[in-house]
Amino acid sequence: MHHREDEAFWILDGDVSFEVDGTIIEAHVGDYAFGPRSIPHCYTVGDAGCRMLFILTPGGFEEMVIEMSVPAASRTLPLPPTEEPDWARIAAIVYSTRLGRYCSASARCAGPIWSACARSAIVRASLSTRW
């Protein structure tokens, strides 16, 4: 869970399920969803995929996404990962960006203690295309 950024999602194409503080919200083209800071939230893209405008405020989170990203080899989704991400590398990236100021201890930003939602979000970020 992050305590600094609010997240907003505007669905441009496809379907996505959001979970916000334990409530499931099904979103479709044209819908808007909000994930407030300090409230657990995550999303799962529908089977047909999804395009959405992703807005974070205040800025700075994009620094971490850029650091973790690699250019996409093609305009297709990669295969699901077969192994755990390198949590030490992820923690180092978090601490090298402005976001590191908001983690109280390195143990909070690594490995198994992260929730499934947070971990899946980081995996998605690490697989995203660098812009």
Q: What is the pLDDT along the chain (131 residues), one digit of tens a residue?
A: 678 889 999 999 999 999 988 899 999 999 999 999 888 888 888 888 889 998 988 888 788 778 888 777 887 877 777 888 888 888 888 777 766 555 544 444 444 334 444 444 444 444 443 33
- Residue 48 shares a structural domain with residue 64: no
- What's the predicted TM-score (pTM) here? 0.60
Domains contained in the chain, number: 2
Q: Which of 13, 29, 59 is the last residue of a domain?
A: 59
Indicate whether 1 and 13 sit together in one domain.
Answer: yes
- The set of residues, in sequence order, having a beta carbon less than 8 Å from that of 123 and lying 6+ positions away, is 81, 85
On the CB side of 94, how many CA atoms lie within 13 Å of its CA? Answer: 21
d(CA 104, CA 4): 13
Give me the CATH number covering residue 43: 2.60.120.10
**Domain range enclosing 130:** 60-131
Q: Within 10 A of 5 (CB to CB), how many other CB atoms are there? A: 18
